[in-house]
């Protein structure tokens, strides 16, 4: 999978450049974008299922920073 299809590989850089927050990351997925050692190709099938479920439920979201919300990645 390349960065075009999965833009999370450089999430921390993109989040800073575009002032984005990631909210609702699952505790069941120990690695998170921007975290130390995060590699999307190390995620297991059950991780993908969990993230898909959260996205479809509207609980995993990417949104624009608000004032004072610099540290808004919850994982």
CA distance 35 to 17: 17
Q: Read off the pLDDT of each residue in 63-68 and give the average, rounded to a whole number.
A: 73
Which has more pLDDT, 11 or 75? 11
User: Looking at residue 68, what is its pLDDT?
Assistant: 61
CA distance 12 to 34: 5
73 CB-near residues (< 8 Å, 6+ apart): 15, 21, 22, 25, 32, 33, 34
User: Looking at residue 1, what is its pLDDT?
Assistant: 47
Which tens digit of pLDDT belongs to each residue from 18-62? 888 888 989 898 888 877 777 778 889 999 999 999 999 999 988
User: Looking at residue 4, what is its pLDDT?
Assistant: 55
Q: Read off the pLDDT of each residue in 7-11 and give the average, rounded to a whole number.
A: 69
Q: How many CB atoms lie within 10 A of CB 28?
A: 12
CB-based contact 49:56 (threshold 8 Å):
no
CA distance 58 to 72: 17
């Amino acid at each position: 999978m390349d960065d075009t299809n999965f833009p999370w590989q450089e999430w921390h850089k993109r989040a800073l450049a575009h002032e984005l927050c990631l909210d609702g990351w699952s505790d069941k997925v120990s690695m998170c974008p921007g975290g130390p050692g995060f590699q999307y190709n190390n995620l297991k099938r059950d991780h993908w299922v969990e993230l898909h479920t959260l996205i479809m439920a509207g609980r995993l979201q990417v949104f624009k920073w608000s004032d004072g919300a610099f540290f808004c990645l919850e994982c």
